Amino acid sequence: MIFDFLFPNRCLDCNQLIDKRDVVCELCLDKVNFSNHQFFETNSLMEKASLLIPVENAFSLLYYEKESLAQKIVHQLKYNHREKIGKVLVNWTTERIDFANGKPDLLVTVPLHYKKLKQRGYNQLHLFGNELSKHYNIPVNHTLLKRIKHSRAQAKKNQSERLKTKNAYQLTENINDKHILLIDDVYTTGNTMSNIAWEILNNSENVKISILVMAMDV
């Protein structure tokens, strides 16, 4: 209570006082560039991802543009210790995805290298994945994949550096006969998602891959 009084929650765009559970005010919510993707239909993320991996379904909550409000929201989550923003993104996601036509068997989050995890203090995808798991009643696995190469954050890399993450991930256990929903924060070149998907596909049997991201670069 004292913390909320001394450090009240403010809209990330206009700085107006807002409820502690929100990230933007109602007026600024209209500035958030939602993708309006349908999970079970072809969309821009599906088209981009299909060039790299065999993907069943794809969904991006937001379009991620430089200096946009969507970028500010994701950066606050990743770099400014605002992990609870993940719950807001979950609420926005569950308002837009209904798995009535068939839900995945397992949610899998993209791992951080242990050095980056220690530096940041948390993996921004864990709370997001856990809340999705509870809402949809789908198991989540944060340890199916292990990051074995350390690198700078994608946002701080140039185009050529983003393409050099081959063999950066390792499967930690056998996984067969599953429809896996891979979860990441931002889809840029698709290199991270591609490396992870092929690591799973090349070491598993009868596995299908779908992807869900908080935002995609446009």
What pLDDT digit, counting tens, does each position of 38-52 carry? 999 999 999 999 999
Residue that the structure tokens 């995805």 belong to:
97
What whole-number distance in Å separates Cα of residue 94 and Cα of residue 117?
27
Percent of the chain topping pLDDT 90: 73
Exposure string over 69-86, b if 16+ CB within 10 A, otherwise e: bbbbbbbbbbeeebbebb
Q: What's the CATH code, domain 35-65+100-217? A: 3.40.50
Domain ranges across the chain: 35-65+100-217
Residue that the structure tokens 């609420």 belong to:
91
Pairing state between β 169-171 and 179-187:
unpaired
Query: For the residues 180-184, what does the mean pLDDT come to?
Result: 98
Continuous segment of H or E residues that includes residue 104: none
Given a cut of 70, whether residue 74 has pLDDT beyond it is: yes
Q: ∠ CA(69), CA(71), CA(74), 5° rounding?
A: 110
What's the Rg (C-alpha) of the chain? 17
Name the band, by pLDDT with cuts 50, 70 and 90, for residue 3.
very low
Residue that the structure tokens 């079970």 belong to:
40
- CB atoms under 10 Å from CB of 178, counted, come to 20
pTM of this prediction?
0.88
Residues in contact with 151: Cβ distance below 8 Å, sequence separation at least 6, in sequence order: 113, 157, 161, 164, 165, 168
Given a cut of 60, whether residue 202 has pLDDT beyond it is: yes
What whole-number distance in Å separates Cα of residue 110 and Cα of residue 124?
10
Name the band, by pLDDT with cuts 50, 70 and 90, for residue 151.
low
Percent of the chain topping pLDDT 70: 89
Instruction: Identify the burial level of 67 via C-beta atoms within 10 angstroms of its C-beta, where 0-12 means exposed, 13-18 middle and 19 or more buried.
Output: exposed
Q: 35 is written with which tokens?
A: 């993708």
